[in-house]
Amino acid sequence: MKIRTGIDIIEVDRIQEAIENLGERFLNKVYTKSEINYCNNTKNMKYQHYAARFAAKEAIFKAISNEIALNEGDILNKIEIINRQDGKPMANLEALQIKNIESMDLSLSHIKKYAVASFSILFK
Ligand SMILES: CC(C)(COP(=O)(O)OP(=O)(O)OC[C@H]1O[C@@H](n2cnc3c(N)ncnc32)[C@H](O)[C@@H]1OP(=O)(O)O)[C@@H](O)C(=O)NCCC(=O)NCCS
């Protein structure tokens, strides 16, 4: 068994600028349709939700980079962040077909200017 962790912090402004300047090109490169729906369906914190998911993808990449042959830019929209009914975020890595995953845990937090993510993965 081995455990890997990843952590990331991002300025919400950077993600807001990318979305405003690059629009769908950026959104589709980074996010899945269900993530876009989740972020767009919130009232005041749309860009914080987008930034938290970006941080989550970076944190996940840090934890799994030894297990995959792809570059960071190629995997962002293959990692999906979903929220359980109670709000807890979970990582869906099915599209990456990583072998021997025992369990994973993801935690997100955001304030006005920053979003952070912490991810752990346990391999069999
Ligand atoms: C879940 C909770 C801890 C989130 O904390 P917060 O300070 O409001 O917000 P944060 O920015 O730190 O975290 C937000 C993220 O928490 C995550 N989250 C939500 N519900 C969660 C849960 N049940 N378990 C784990 N993570 C959860 C989500 O990923 C969310 O971000 P997202 O919507 O972009 O996915 C909080 O809303 C909550 O329910 N607290 C219960 C205790 C309470 O009511 N305390 C108030 C005392 S004054």
Instruction: Give the tens place of pLDDT for each residue, 30-64.
Output: 999 999 999 999 878 999 999 999 999 999 999 99
Q: What is the pLDDT of residue 66?
A: 87
Q: What is the pLDDT of residue 80?
A: 98
> For 11-34, what is the mean pLDDT?
97
The domain total for the chain is: 1
Cα of 76 vs centre of ligand 1, distance in Å, is 24
Q: Output the pTM of the full model.
A: 0.93
Q: Which domain holds residue 113?
A: 2-123
Confidence of residue 16 (pLDDT cuts 50, 70, 90): very high
Confidence of residue 74 (pLDDT cuts 50, 70, 90): confident
Percent residues over pLDDT 70 in the chain: 100
Q: Is 57's C-beta closer than 6 angstroms to any atom of ligand 1? A: no
List the single range of 3-17, 41-55, 58-72 with lowest mean pLDDT.
Answer: 58-72
Give the domain CATH number at 29. 3.90.470.20
Q: Is 108's C-beta closer than 6 angstroms to any atom of ligand 1? A: yes
pLDDT at 70 > cutoff 90:
no
d(C-alpha 121, C-alpha 113), whole Å:
27
Cα of 46 vs centre of ligand 1, distance in Å, is 15
Q: Is 86's C-beta closer than 6 angstroms to any atom of ligand 1? A: yes
Q: Is 24's C-beta closer than 6 angstroms to any atom of ligand 1? A: no
Q: Is 16's C-beta closer than 6 angstroms to any atom of ligand 1? A: no
pLDDT at 71 > cutoff 80:
no
Q: Is 12's C-beta closer than 6 angstroms to any atom of ligand 1? A: no
